[in-house]
Amino acid sequence: MAASTLFLSSALPKPSYFLFYPFHSPPSSPLCLPPHLRSYKFRKFNCCLAVKSSNDEATSSAGTENRAPDSLRVVFAAGGTGGHIIPAIAIADELKLTNPTSKILFIGCPDSMESAGISSAGFNFSPIRAVQLVQPFISPRNLFLPYRLIKSIFKSYKLLQDFKPHIVIGTGGYVSFPVCVAAALMKIKVVIQEQNSVPGIANWILSFFADVVFVAFNSTIECFPRKEKCLVCGNPVRLSLRGCVPKAEARLNFFPRLKKMEDSGGVKVVLVLGGSLGANAINIALLNLYYQMLLEHKNWFIIWQTGVESFNEMESLVKNHTQLLLTPFLHSMDLAYAAADLIVSRAGAMTCSEILATGKPSILIPSPNAEEGHQFRNASLMADVAGSRVITEDELDSTTLGTAIEELLGNESLMADMSERALKAAKPDASAEIAKHIISLVN
């Protein structure tokens, strides 16, 4: 089946995110180890995102439909941040849609984001303690790492022994490593899903044991030692985002007073996302901006996700305002995206995939702390494909953010163009494609 892809090849930009650009072929460089295992200096990079394609010379062997076993049993290992949890839930939703009798278990850390998020998504959850590798490697905190890792693998082994899965799927986070290792030791099929363009050390090591490695970018294949295991499917987005919730209905969920407004046609909603854990720089810039902006624009509204770690501080500083909704975390992201006219966000791989899937204009502020500049490359790609505005954290303040918001919300034709470009670049069927391959592998 022919695959349609877009490529980017350029010097590392100042502000960047994940985008796609025609021309240039995928990199043909020698084996690329992840940054944790060797020095990695970005001078030029090749990045490619599969767009509206079914990847698949390697997987379209038979044109027949794959059917899951009547009692398909699947374990997901995911945790840490929404970037690891969201794709796991998206794949799980697709598996349940394809085969409603599937039994699914999530394994993650206790008292964590995943422990709350997975349960609210309607899936069973079992906790284990994750083992974190501290940098630098010679840190005294890593002294007991082997003992803790063995303990986590043993706990994972017992959970898998009780659940008896056909397959284990790791989507990242420290918890995925011991679970996938235990599955490999038990000769259970293992697949991993890598969201970023360059894998972390855990997924790089797990790729030796995995049966299949699902990646979002063609260039990521070059970073894995067993390239023949890699399949480019894009990043899975939540099933709920593919629904059609009317904008007016979604807005009433956040701002009930809109029902009484006479001129609701001129309403604009800005959705501010700092990632699941929050972004202090974005919070501070918006803190110094929101009140004056809402005072000048009576028809503008803000949905502000501060992140769980920053919420208490922001709540104490932000004045109550009828045009503002302040929240630590958004569980109904489908409604938030549907309600929004403009997204202000970090440039994580999953957030970018969701912005494209929902066709939303965006202002991206890549995190300077993300490993190996993942978010800068993501933002750069988004600027090329979807016309996203990019502000580096060094440039970010209330003035630059306010100016960018005013310019976009004040230009309807530009917003419409950005939305159209985003939808054209989206890969909304990634989770369905991954689910199809998983069922095929089990069979």
The secondary structure element, H or E, covering residue 358 is helix 349-358
Residues 247 and 329 in one domain: yes
3-state secondary structure 51-99: CCCCCCCCCCCCCCCCCCCCCCEEEEEECCCHHHHHHHHHHHHHHHHHC
Residues 306 and 325 in one domain: yes
Residues 93 and 229 in one domain: yes
Domain membership of residue 1 (yes or no) is no
Predicted local distance difference test score (pLDDT) of residue 231: 94
Of 106, 128, 127, 109, whose CA–CA distance to 118 is shortest?
A: 106
Residues 85 and 148 in one domain: yes
Domain membership of residue 68 (yes or no) is no
Domain membership of residue 38 (yes or no) is no
Q: CA 432 to CA 429: how far, in whole Å?
A: 5
For residue 140, count CB atoms less than 10 angstroms from its CB and return exposed for 0-12, middle for 13-18, buried for 19 or more.
exposed
Residues 286 and 260 in one domain: yes
Looking at residue 404, which CATH number applies to its domain? 3.40.50.2000
Q: CA 6 to CA 385: how far, in whole Å?
A: 9
Q: Which amino acid is at 183?
A: A
Predicted local distance difference test score (pLDDT) of residue 147: 84
Domain membership of residue 217 (yes or no) is yes
Which residues 6+ apart lie within 8 Å of 147 measured at CB?
none
DSSP helix/strand/coil, 306: coil
The count of C-alpha atoms lying within 13 angstroms of the C-alpha of 424, restricted to the half-sphere facing its C-beta, is: 13
Predicted local distance difference test score (pLDDT) of residue 279: 86
Predicted local distance difference test score (pLDDT) of residue 135: 65
Predicted local distance difference test score (pLDDT) of residue 262: 58
Number of domains, the chain: 2
> What is the greatest pairwise CA distance in the chain?
65
Taking 50 as the pLDDT cut, the residues of the chain under it are: 1-33, 35-65
Domain membership of residue 7 (yes or no) is no
Residues 210-262 have pLDDT tens digits of 999 999 877 789 989 999 999 999 899 887 887 778 999 999 999 998 987 75
3-state secondary structure 189-204: EEEEEECCCCCCHHHH
CA distances from 345 to 65, 341, 349, 401, 410 (A): 39, 13, 11, 11, 19
DSSP helix/strand/coil, 343: strand
Residues 148 and 232 in one domain: yes
CA geometry: angle 100, 104, 109, nearest 5 deg: 150
Q: Which pTM does this prediction carry? A: 0.73
**Could you tell me the strand order of the sheet in which 389-390 lies?**
324-327, 300-305, 268-273, 342-345, 362-364, 389-390
Residues 292 and 372 in one domain: yes
Residues 261 and 376 in one domain: yes
Residue 136: cis peptide before it, omega within 30 degrees of 0:
yes
Residues 204 and 90 in one domain: yes
Residues 397 and 262 in one domain: yes
Domain membership of residue 375 (yes or no) is yes
Q: CA 204 to CA 189: how far, in whole Å?
A: 17
Asked whether 405 and 293 are in contact (CB, 8 A), the reply is yes
Residues 419 and 435 in one domain: no
User: Which domain does 171 fall in, by range?
Assistant: 73-236+429-442
Residues 255 and 392 in one domain: yes
Domain membership of residue 197 (yes or no) is yes
Of 145, 173, 170, whose CA–CA distance to 160 is shortest?
A: 170
Domain membership of residue 20 (yes or no) is no
The secondary structure element, H or E, covering residue 206 is helix 201-206
Scanning the structure block, which residue is given the tokens 């305002």?
321
Q: How many CB atoms lie within 10 A of CB 403?
A: 12
